Amino acid sequence: MHLGTHGGFARALAEAFMNADSTNQEIILKSFSALFSKVASFLDIEPTQSKSDHELYIERRIDILDKKLMQGNISQEEYDRRFSQLP
């Protein structure tokens, strides 16, 4: 898709998907599932299954923790403690 062989819109959508965080990737996949399925079928590949709400929740929590750690807002010990408390 990102090469533009399926049109300019599909190329732009693929670029947006690649630049999106996991939450927005899920939104793009759900909103344009027909296009992704069409391209997957054309390329003879099996589309991936959507992530569950629980998986998305965990990814968002980890993204937040990563950001706080990288910005120096929490220590590695605090990161590890919070990470271990994730459901």
- The whole-number pLDDT of residue 81 equals 92
User: Per the structure block, which two tokens stand in for 3?
Assistant: 């090469």
- Record the pTM: 0.45
pLDDT for the residue numbered 49: 57
pLDDT digits (tens, 9 = 90+) for 36-84: 788 777 766 555 556 677 777 788 888 889 999 999 999 999 999 998 9
> Mean of the pLDDT values across residues 14-40?
85
Annotated domain spans of the chain: 1-47, 51-87
Cα separation, 22 vs 59, in Å, equals 7
